[in-house]
A and B are shown apart, each in its own frame.
Chain A
Amino acid sequence: MEDRNRKPPGRGRGIARYYQLYQALCGFLQEGAIAAGEALPSEPELVHSYGVSRTTVRRALARLEQEGLIVRRRGSGTFARKAQEPERLTVHLSRLHTEAPVFAPHVSTSVLQFAAAPVPAALQELHPGLSEPMFLFRRLSSYRGTPYQLSSAYVPAEIARRIRRRRLDRTPLLYLLNEVGPPVVTTEHSAGATAADALAARQLRVPFGAPLLRIRTVLRDAEGRLRALDESLFRPDRVHVRTSIVRDGTSGAQAPWRLQPD
C-alpha cells in the first residue's frame, strides 16, 4: 500500500494516535484500496502493523463506524460500507452574487446585521485607499434548515442608506446594489480557507476551528468605483463552489484557459 499509510502513527504533536490511524484507514476506504463489502484487517492485525494498542484500534474503528464508513459484524469482522455522499448545494462562482443565496429551492436567508462598521484590514487590502464610511450587511443562508453560508458585505454608507430594508432577506447582493445605483460590472473573487472563529462557528453550527471555504469579492461599477466588499464563508460539507473553464482544444500546446460563463 502507499507510503502515506505505511508509517506507524507517531506521537504527533497534539494529535491523538487513534485519529492518525482513523485518517490512514479513511484514506484506504476513500481511495478504494478496501472496496465496499471487503473486510478490513482484524484488530490484532491492525495492532501489529501500526504498532498501537488495541484500545487505539478500537477507538479508530468506532469512529469509522459512527461515520458510516464501516460496519462491524460480531463474529465475522469489519467491512467497508458503500460511501454515501452528503447532499450538497452547488454554487457557481459566476453567479455567487446574482443567484446565491436566494433563488434556490429550500434556501432561506436571515439578516444578522445591518449597521455602520469598520472594514477588516484583510478585506480593505482588496480595495486600497478605502476612506468612506461603510455599512456591514451580514446574512446567514440555510438549506433545508442547515446553515451553509455566512456573508458579510461592506457597502459604502451612502449606497447602503438607499437599500430597501424589507428586501434584504431575499435579494442577492448584486441586485440590491443595482437597484440603487450604477450597475456592478465586475466582480473580483479571491478564494481561500479559514478556521471557524467564534462567530462563524456559532452561526454556521460547526466546531470552533473547523475548516471553512472563504470567498472574498470586490464588486465594482463601470467606472471602477467600489460598490461592495464581501466576505462569504461556506461550510464545505454543505456547499461546493463550481467554475467551468475552457480553452481551444484543437490548436493544442499552451492555449490559454478562460472562464466559461455558466
Chain B
Amino acid sequence: MMLSWRLRWYVLATARVLQRHWQALFLTVLLLLPAMPVFAETRLLGAPVLAPLAPAHGLEWRFVWVHMLEAIGMLWVVIQRTAISGGPFAVFVKSLPVSTRRHRVVDATVVLIASTPLLLPVMAAAIAFAYLPHKASNYLYVLDLTVITLGWQLAALSRKISNGFTLIVANFILIGALQTSNTARTVLLMASLAVAMFALVDTREASFAHARHLGNRWRRVVGRLSLDGARRLPPFVKLQLGIVGFHFAGVVSRCIVMGAVAASTCYVVDLWGFDARAVPLTLGAQAVIALIASITYRDLDASHIRAAHFMRSLPIASIVQVRADVLSVAILALPFAAAAPLFLVAHGVLAIHVAAAIVLSGTPLLALLRLPQRYAPRESVLLGAILATIWIVVAWQIFV
C-alpha cells in the first residue's frame, strides 16, 4: 500500500518528465541504431558501463569513470528528490507505526523505478555480457556498480552519509577488482557486493522534510550569490535570475550536458582535421544545444504559473514576460552555442562574421522551441526534434 501511494505520487509529480526522458531515449535509439546487429547495439548502448572493463584503461581512469557514473546516478536523484521522497504526505507517514526496514525497501524500489532511463545502459551491458567471456565476474561487476550507485542515491535522498564510508570501501574493492585477473576479480567483486549490501541495509530512510529543507538552503545560497551582485539590477532581471537560481540543480545539469555537446563537437571536428564535415556537425550541435537549453522554459513556466494569479493583475503586457524568458534561455545557451563556431574561427575554418551569423541564427529556433514546451509539453521532445531538423535544413542551405 505504502509503495503504491509513493509510486502514484511520483508518477503524478514527474509523469511528464519521465515520459519526455523515454521519448528522447526512444528517438535517439531510432536515429542512432537503424539496422544494427543486436550485439553492436548493446555494446553501443552499454558503452558507459562496459568502458571500465577495457584492458587499455588504467587504475586512475577507472577510478574517475566509476565515480562519474555513480555521481550521475546521485545527481539524477537529487534533481527529483522532492518527487522521489514522497511529497508532503510523506511527512505524515513518518508519524505512522511503519518499520524503518519497510521505509527503506519502499525508498529503494521508488529510486530504482525513477532511475529506469539510467538502467538502460546497465541492461544493455548485461545483454552484451551474454556474448563475452568471464560472464560471472562481468555480471558481478554490473550488480556491484548498480548496488553501490543505489546506495549513494539513497544516501543523497536521506541526506545522511553515515554509510558513506562503507560505500567508499565497496567502491575501492570494486575498482581494485577490475585491476586483477579473472579468479581474483570474482572473489573481490563478491566482497565488494557484500560490503555494498551491508551499506544498503544500513541506509537511513528518505526524508521529504530534509529534501525540502536542504533544497531551500542551497537555493538560498545560490540565490544570495547570484542576487548579491545584482542588487542594482531591474526587478524583472532579478526575477529571471531568481527563477534560474530556484531551479539550480536542473540548470546546472543542463549546462553540463550542453558543455559536453560543445566539447565533443570540438573534439570530433579536430579529429576530422577540420574538413568539410566541420560546419554541418557544428550546425547539428547548435540544434542539440538549443533543444537542451529549451528545457529551461519549463522551469520558467512553472515559476510563472505559481505567481500568475497576482501577476496578471499588474499592468505588464504578456509579451514582456515571453521576451524575458526567451532572452534568459538564449543567455544560458550562448556560451555553449558559441564554443564550436569560435573554435572553427580559431582554426581558420570560418570567418568571424560567419561564426557570429551561425550563433545568431540559432535564436529563432530557441524562440520557437518555447512553443512545444509551453503548449504541448507531452510531445515537446518530438516537436522540438522536428523544429530542430527544419532549422538544420534551412541553416544548411545558408552556411554549408
Do the two chains belong together in a single complex? no
